[in-house]
Amino acid sequence: MGARNSPLGWLRQSFPVDGEVLREMSSEPIPNHLKRWWYALGGTPAYLFIVLAATGISLTFYYRPSPEVAYESVGRITNEIRFGWLIRSVHHWAANLMVLSVILHVIRVFFTRAYRKPRELNWMFGVGILIVIFTFGFTGYSLVYEQLSYWAAVVGTNIAEATPIVGPYLATFMRGGVDITSNTLTRMFVLHIGVLPTVIVILLGLHIVQIRLHGVSIPDGEAKKDAGKTFPFFPNHLMTELVIGLSLTILLVVLALIAPAPLGEPANPNVTPEHIKPEWYFFAMFRWLKLTSFKVGVLGTMGFVGIFLFWPFIDRLIERAFPGKGVAMWIGVLGVLTLIAFTIWEAFV
């Protein structure tokens, strides 16, 4: 049998890709500073995304997106389906860790100024991913249809309603009417399992393509230390990612065992809970909205998101106005401290 007729030959014929190119792609030299764990936070969300997709698909086998049976189906997953509690708890904790790791990744990118030219667009893709992840969180816990889900949906859509000009239309679209009904739940479900995954896959793809096109940015300090030294992606960096993946899997399983995903009281539109609190990553925004009027709160949030999205360009303007003063850095410190302070404030009130 000639080489062209062997299974390998057939495969090469079907996928006419140069092996050398593949080898080169997988052996991309990685800048030496990535040997430090702090710089591996970008891979963590990627791994968690795979976990979330796998557990999410498993949950979809049993979840039923209708107000009459949604809560009951989550209860069934938790109490009756084999390993249902594990899958749901891993999904719950992976989602929380995803939010945490992305926030840490953004902070790292911000303070190492990795968004500078020519990577402005990649920063914007990253901010887009962050917004999508928050939306994932919001739609995800709405699906449980417990009291928190229902009243979070009420508050969330009321916030959307306060958006200038388009607010009422946006809220009506989100709810599928004037109230939270089965239409709302169906919309949350479609967003959570269809629209958002598609959007995040596109954004992640663009984010990674950008990294490959521009290479990993080298922070000022690190550049001096490592002076252009690199190490191969395979096996060195892949092993680092494997260590992170294994550690995260252990962490997720342990968290699922000691703190399984909670299931509160079923949604009751007639009973407003004494304390409505969203998930922890919305605490800062929630506190901000409590401090201001709804309109000011929403406008302020929109302004914050706008500044955040276009930060690479704003940073350049600040640098031009105050060269070498580190003003942008101090604005970042102030922003992070404010977010932490608001989060803690909301958590303890």
Partner 1 sequence: MESVKFKQVVIAILGFILLGAFVVVGYVESMRRIPDAKPRIVVSAENEKCLNCHEQQSNARTVAQQWRESTHAKRGVGCLECHEAEASDADSFTHYTETIATVVTPGDCSRCHPAEFEQFQRSHHADAGNILGSLDNVLAEVIEGHMPVVHGKRLASPAAVSGCKQCHGSVVTPLLDENGDKTYRDSGVLVLDHNTWPNTGIGRLNPDGTKGSCAACHNRHYFSAAQAREPDDCGKCHLGPDHPQYEIYRESKHGINFIAHKDKMNLDAQPWIVGEDYVAAPTCASCHMSATPNQPVTHDVGERISWTLRPPISEKVDAVALKQGKDVMPWKERRANMTDVCVQCHSQQFVGSFYKQYDDLVNLYNDKFGRPATDIIKSLKSNDLITGDIAFDDKIEWTYFYLWHHEGRRARMGAAMMGPDYTQWHGMFEVADRFYMEFVPEAREAVEHGRESGKQAGADAAQDVIDKIMARDEHLWIQGKMSDEERAAREAASDAFRKRYAGSE
**Chain residues that interact with partner 1, rule: CB under 8 A:** 34-37, 79-83, 85-86, 235-236, 239-240, 242-243, 246-247, 249-250, 253-254, 256-257
Q: What is the DSSP letter of 348?
A: H
Q: Give residue 223's region: left, alpha or beta (phi > 0; psi -120 to 50).
A: alpha
Are 95 and 78 spatial neighbours (Cβ–Cβ below 8 Å)? no
Provide the minimum distance between the beta carbon of 21 and partner 1 in the complex, in angstroms, as a whole number. Answer: 25
* Residue-by-residue DSSP string for 19-37: HHHHHHHHTPEEEGGGGSG
| Choice between 91 and 175, CB closer to partner 1 | 91
> Would you state the structure tokens that stand for residue 45, as one six-digit string?
């969300």
Strand partners, 30: 231
| Choice between 50 and 254, CB closer to partner 1 | 254
Characterize the bridge pairing of strands 230-232 and 29-31: antiparallel
Provide the minimum distance between the beta carbon of 75 and partner 1 in the complex, in angstroms, as a whole number. Answer: 11
Nearest to 122 by CA among 220, 209, 219, 34: 209
Provide the minimum distance between the beta carbon of 89 and partner 1 in the complex, in angstroms, as a whole number. Answer: 10
| Choice between 86 and 267, CB closer to partner 1 | 86
What residues have CB less than 8 Å from 52, skipping those under 6 apart? 91, 94, 95, 98
| Choice between 35 and 277, CB closer to partner 1 | 35
Provide the minimum distance between the beta carbon of 275 and partner 1 in the complex, in angstroms, as a whole number. Answer: 23
| Choice between 195 and 253, CB closer to partner 1 | 253
How many angstroms separate the CA atoms of 300 and 159, rounded? 12
Provide the minimum distance between the beta carbon of 141 and partner 1 in the complex, in angstroms, as a whole number. Answer: 24
| Choice between 94 and 153, CB closer to partner 1 | 94
Provide the minimum distance between the beta carbon of 256 and partner 1 in the complex, in angstroms, as a whole number. Answer: 8
